[in-house]
Each structure stands twice: as structure tokens, then as C-alpha cells.
Amino acid sequence: MMAMQNPELQSLQRKIEKLLTVHQALREQNKSMRAAEASWQAERAKLMQQNEIARRKVNEMITRLQTLERNSG
């Protein structure tokens, strides 16, 4: 009975070790992906802020041009 159980236990142990290895790899991948996501989110926020600044500047220029047009016409 012990001889039959031993290979089964070894097989189970190998499977558990493989699962632990995969688990650790997935944890590391998840950590890396979260860091990448945080970086992209920061970049997105920066780009949105730059876009807002550009939008304001364009609106200011349009207003100035309209004022010049009214004053010269």
C-alpha cells in the first residue's frame, strides 16, 4: 500500500510545486501590469492636462481674432 501511495504523493507534490511556480509567475506578471497601468494612467492625465491648456489657448486666440476683426471692421 505504501509503495502505491508514494508515487501518487510524489505526483501530487510535483503538481503542487508547478502550481506554486505558476502562481508566483502570475503574481509577478500582475505586479508588472499594475505598474504599467499606473504609468499609462499618469501619462493619460498629463496628456489630458496638456490638451486642456491647448484648448484654452486656442479659445483665447479665437476671442482675440474676433476682437481684432470687430475693431478693424
Q: What is the dihedral of CA 53, 59, 64, 65, to 10 degrees?
A: 130
Is 14 within a domain?
no
Q: Whole domain around residue 39: which residue ranges?
A: 27-73
Coil, helix or strand for 53? helix
- pLDDT higher than 80, residue 9: yes
Q: What tens digit of pLDDT does each residue of 25-54 get?
A: 999 999 999 999 999 999 999 999 999 999
CA distance 50 to 67: 26
Q: Residue 5's pLDDT band (boundaries 50, 70, 90)?
A: confident
Query: Is 73 inside any structural domain?
Result: yes
Give the closest residue to 2 by CA, choosing from 51, 35, 10.
Answer: 10
Residue 10 inside a domain? The answer is: no
Has residue 2 been placed in a domain? no
Please give the torsion angle defined by the CA atoms of residues 21, 25, 28 and 34, in that order, rounded to the nearest 10 degrees. -140
Q: For residue 1, is pLDDT > 60?
A: no
Residue with cell 505586479: 31
Say how many domains are in the chain: 1
pLDDT bin (cut points 50, 70, 90) of residue 2 is: low
